[in-house]
Structure 1
Amino acid sequence: MKISREVKTAVLVIAGITFCIYLFTFLKGEDLFDSSNTYYTEFDYNALKTSSPVTIKGNKVGEVEEIKYDFESGKTRISFSVTPKLKFSKNSIVRLYQEGLMGGNALSIVQANDGELAQPGDFIKSEVKPGMISSLEKNFSGISEDLGTTLRSSDTLITNLNKLVVDESEDGLQQTIAELNATLKTFKGVGVKAGNVLSENDEKIASVLENFDKTSAELAILIKDLNDAKLSNTVKNLDDMVLKLNQLVSGLAAGEGSMGKLLNDNSLYDNLDAASKELQLLLLDIKLHPARYRRILSKREIPYEEPTQEQLNNN
């Protein structure tokens, strides 16, 4: 059978058109021969376009097929298709989000955890995730007000700084810089001298540090020995002794016991004071009249005479 030239030309044209369509869909990342399931959702406004991607956990699984405005509800109705391999719950949420700072918008399927699977043609609930640009637009007024306050504060600070720096004299600022330079030179000289002192006494400093290390080691050994000697028990015993001593002093202050009565009995003090005075008078009488006491065995009695005030003062 002989095929005419017209048929061959028609076949070639149809094949070319088919190849161009396949190539176009392939470059868009679609598979012409792959079937897909279509679902529906709606938003208060339209921020999508046909062929906007549909993702799940950041992976593209479909695209937006059709966008229509519903005149009855006043909302934008979206139909999107996903690969039939994707199984998700009917209670999942379709989220409108911004792909990037300069990118467009896309849909993301946020899966629910129940077991009821969505069927092709089902309506899925939607939500909108605010993007960076929209957040900045909402907060731009507040940011501008804060920025204006900051600029006014900076202007006040610079004005006060100018008042502080400006001098009435002709060379005020230059003199200040010169004095500051002289101060820095002085500090530099002090630093150089300190460096020389350190370099000259390097061995002494090293010896001091070595001795300090030895002292620290010996102190650690001493502390260990004190711990081994049960210093805590000694301190506890000392604390008990101080407590008992406090109780003893409290008892003495309260007049308990013989010593307490001795310390708190005024009559005993008066008796001791009187006895001391009589003993003083006896000693004075022995000093003034020793002959009276040398003749104790004699029958002759020498009468006692009260000492005069002058004798008391002299003795």
Structure 2
Amino acid sequence: MSNKYTSIKVGVISLLSIFLLYYGINFLKGVNVMSNARVLHSYYNEIAGLTEGNSVTIKGYKIGTITNISFDNERNNELRVEMNIEDDIQIPLNTVAKIVSFDLMGTKGISFVLGDTSALVVSGDELIGDIEISLQDEVNAQILPLKNKTEELIGSIDSVMTVITTVLNKDARESLSKSLISLDETFTTLSETMIIVNKMVQENQENINSMMTNFSSITENLNSSNSEIKNILTNFSSFSDSLAKADILSTLNKIDAITYKINNGNGSLGKLVNDKELYENLKSASKELDELITDMKLHPERYVSFSIISPQNKPYVEPKID
């Protein structure tokens, strides 16, 4: 009898121990096994350090805990997060379960962003999953531009140091010194040139003023003669139009025909040009006629005589041709 009682006692103690162990584990996870809780779930591509037992809140008020996190092979290995939610909380079906950081230490949890639909979730429903940008990500986003500018500044400083190192080189210093001396000489020459030019301008100021006055006078004359210039241009335009309308080609053809006849000895002018004997006879006759006229001018009494007062005719003497 005592053995049977002992066995029952051991069994009861074992069951009680198992229950207490189960209750204790769930209690440590934040799960109240004695309450009627709804089991909801969401899917995430990554959970940013979320673990089982983390809290589920609405506006900072805890309404449940995360009970299980697992890979779902049927959804491209997305992470399935299951949550136990108090049954007396009304949650719209389009509520978003967002993973957030509860403190600066990075403690993760899920905060419900309540939807606006009238349909409410029941146990087994899926909520839309989302994840908040972490503080580290925000800091990285702010620091990244500063990091890039710092790298650019370091590169610029390196370039400046390279230039300084090059300038401090002995050969470079000598070259720079020679360049500065040459530049100084150039400025000196330019200054002397400006002095000379200024002196020339001062010495020829009257001539320059006179030139400007003459130029102004010419300009005024051109302005006053504007109408005359316009008439000249108009006449020139009319002359150009007349030339354009004239049958110049026909005239040139006629001149060419006349030249051809002259070259071939046709006509009097052609014979005169091409017949050498005729040309010599005409030349001789012209010479004799010239001599006759010269003699008539020198001795008119030989050709015109007045018997009343003139003496006897003098014999003809051939004039001397100088």
TM-score in terms of structure 1 length? 0.43
Structure 1 or 2, whichever has the larger Rg, is 2
